[in-house]
Chains A and B, each alone.
Chain A
Amino acid sequence: MTQRITIDPITRLEGHGKIEIFLNDEGDVANTYFQIPELRGFERFCVGRPVEELPLLTNRICGVCPEAHHMAGAKASDAVYHVDPPPTAKMLRELLYMAFYCTDHTTHFYALAGPDFVMGPDAPIAERNILGVIHKVGLEIGGKVIQMRKYGHEVVEMIGGRKVHPCTSIPGGLTKGITEDQRKEILKMGKWAVEFGQFSLKLFGDIVLGNKAYVDLILGDIYTHKTYYMGMVDENNHINFYDGKVRVVGPDGKELVKYAPNEYMNHIAEHVEPWTYLKFPYLKAVGWKGFVDGPDSGVYCATPLSRLNAADGMATPLAQAEYEKFYKTLGGKPVHQRLATHWARLIELLYAAEHWVELASDPEVAGPNFHTIPTEKPTEGVGIVEAPRGTLTHHYWTDERGVVTKVNLVVGTTNNYAPITMSIQKAAASLIKKGTVVTEPILNMVEMAFRAYDPCFGCATHSLPGQMPLEVTIRDAKGNPINVLKQFCE
């Protein structure tokens, strides 16, 4: 008799997802499916609008990383108009982006990864959340998290015109600059962010690396996959979130390809499965071989861990020291253990904070030349940035008036759809065996497999009730529920 276990929905607030685990006659895992509904009609929605509206519209796709869509949209619009923004504009955009990264990575670590590691994967469910983390490690840390978010929002508002959904980037630069006083204020906040990044890495070292059980969990086979890794790099092959070329390395760490944004279609193809609307991107040069590891499989991963693996180092000194410690501790490059993504995320947080300080230290960022008026006839253009959860590609086509005729987006998490599917499969198969009583902690450990990727699917909707309870249904072959577990907190 086949059994089916359904984890549905994982979340509602930022996209409704469902994990289905099918058991075979022996009670072992036969297969798993990670399904999410796709938000529909975005291209149709964009066609016929002036392209300069797209950086504003695309940032409404996602409730979590609108800043990333705004940046990719702005860069694609620059490319459509064949205009190169002046240095001040690039610095301002990048500065906004660093502040956003600090906020986003902070929230993920303290609100999502933290509960699993600070409280423990099998901690009582009512305590496994950010409030539990704060109560355990101290109110002072909660204050720092809130402060980090506040500073991040303030910088986004100063440069982007609004908190969270910035609106100032247009083809050729920005609609406004910042004052010298604002620059000094941003610099002060950046210096605090660097200290916060260092503090967070120390906390990770003390709580996670200082606990053998967690180190064993990270290094264990359950959460390990050997795939290709993608990330954007600068001319020195150091990580860059805003600009550069996309580099892909193999499971052996060697470079497979490094391409400019407008070449992405030569390198990325999409595989379709009958059980999901979302497509699975893969590397054209390697080919789709299914949901499998190894150098012959075109599956790639685009996450903080992937970015570290795909780069030769970090562009700032403190983050570089942490980068070296990371690989020394975990046995060299590349690191394949997916739970190490949480550590990689904190190294990126420190880099973002350091780069924030670098950018805000240069008086040119407050200069008056923040826009170049486009003069070329618009055609098509590609913009790529590294979103916190993966390489984000926007590709726009327009007519000669700059009116959109076609749009293609490859969003951060979509890159990771195949590896997330593989990670869930492996965790479920490792943790649920014949005779296993499927408990809440076991399901949480399955969820930890996808949580490491910080996935973000169709995340614009906010309809209440916001978060719905996890419901696990075990069904027989005819679809009749034989056991239902509802995971309410209270």
Chain B
Amino acid sequence: MKTLVIGLGNPILGDDGVGWRVAEEVAKSTANRPEVEVDCYSLGGLSLMERLTGCERAILIDSIFTGTKPVGTVSRFPLNELPDVVAGHTTAAHDTSLRNALNVGRSMDIPLPRDEDVSVVAVEAENVYDFSETLSPPVEAAVPLAVQAVLELLDAQPAASRSDNRS
């Protein structure tokens, strides 16, 4: 199954760059796996949907700011566990949510992965407002754990067969 791994974020905005760092490590580990493509990207919404065109499965790596978990905590969850607040005033000032964008794309018959085939690996961030190419120490320490999480997801069965085991 062709899988696209995308590190999201801004590489010069402190912990927001963790997605890129993890993706770069994943790329080294998967260099001999032709079914895995790794990329770094800085956009969400419609642009990210466009980037996902043609892939069957995607793993997104990003910083997350819940404010409730210790900095550096690595989480993984399917895309549809993120709140999808798509209505005009609640969404981004220039775009729409990825889930809404995926729905837009599917209604245009653009080949896109199903929501359940898009996974997120997120690292709890601390500093996403100060320009820096350096990750804060707990986020830096989490990079190998996030890489491991991505590699485990790559080795896991696709969502369709997993769902067979669900009640």
Question: What is A's interface to B at a CB cutoff of 8 Å?
Answer: 10-15, 37-42, 44-45, 57, 60, 63-64, 66, 107-108, 111-112, 115-116, 119, 125-126, 128-131, 134-135, 139, 142-143, 146, 149-150, 153, 164-165, 443-444, 447, 451, 454-470, 487-490
Contacts and interface: CB of A to CB of B under 8 A. Distances in A.
Given A142-B108, A462-B63, A463-B62, A164 B43 contact: yes
A40 B131 contact: yes
B74 to A, nearest CB: 13
Nearest to B75: A464
Interface in B72-98: 82-98
A447 B89 contact: yes
Contact of A146 (B45, B85, B98, B110): B110
Given A461-B16, A464-B64, A488 B83 contact: yes
B125 interface: yes
Given A111-B96, A126-B87, 4 more contacts: A10-B89, A139-B108, A164-B42, A466-B97
Contacts of B129: 37-40, 458, 461
Contacts of A44: 131
A198 to B, nearest CB: 21
A2 B131 CA distance: 38
B87 A464 contact: no
Interface string B27-51: 0000000000000001111110010
B90 A465 contact: no
B82 to A, nearest CB: 5
A115 B63 CA distance: 29
A128 B87 contact: yes
A460 B50 contact: no
A469 B85 contact: yes
B100 interface: yes
Given A60-B10, A130-B96, A39 B131 contact: yes
B85 A134 contact: no
Contacts of A12: 92
8 contacts: A126-B86, A149-B47, A150-B50, A462-B16, A463-B9, A469-B83, A470-B89, A490-B84
Interface string B1-36: 000000011111101100100000000000000000
A257 B65 CA distance: 45
B132 interface: yes
B104 A142 contact: yes
A10 B15 CA distance: 22
Given A14-B93, A463-B62, A129 B87 contact: yes
A298 to B, nearest CB: 26
By DSSP majority rule, is chain B's interface helix, strand, loop, or mixed?
Answer: loop
A195 to B, nearest CB: 18
Nearest to B15: A463
A489 B86 contact: yes
Contact of B93 (A130, A153, A456): A456
Contacts of B154: none
Given A39-B13, A150-B50, A454-B93, A466 B44 contact: yes
Contact of B88 (A14, A112, A150): A112
Contacts of A63: 10, 42-44
Interface pairs A-B: 6 shortest CB-CB: A13-B92, A125-B87, A45-B131, A464-B64, A115-B88, A447-B89
Interface of B: 8-13, 15-16, 19, 42-47, 50, 62-66, 82-98, 100-101, 103-105, 107-108, 110, 120, 122, 125, 128-132
B63 A146 contact: no
B85 A107 contact: no
A207 to B, nearest CB: 16
Contact of A131 (B8, B89, B104, B122): B104
Contacts of B95: 13-14, 64, 107, 111
Contacts of A112: 88, 93-94
Contact of B50 (A153, A466, A487, A489): A153
Contacts of B88: 112, 115-116, 119, 125, 128-129, 444, 447, 451
B86 A131 contact: yes
Contacts of A13: 44-45, 91-92, 95
Contacts of A464: 62-65, 82, 120, 122
Given A39-B13, A39-B129, A143-B108, A487 B92 contact: no
Contacts of A447: 88-89
Contact of A487 (B19, B90, B98): B90
Interface centre among B47, B89, B132, by most chain A C-beta atoms within 10 angstroms, is B89
A443 B89 contact: yes
Nearest to B13: A460
- Among B45, B97, B104, B108: residue with most chain A CB under 10 A: B104
Contacts of B128: 461, 463
B104 A487 contact: no
B87 A489 contact: yes
Contacts of B101: 130
A130 B85 contact: no
A459 B92 CA distance: 10
A142 B107 contact: yes
Nearest to B42: A63
B93 A455 contact: yes
Contacts of A10: 89, 93
Contacts of A455: 93
Contacts of B90: 11, 125, 467-470, 487, 489
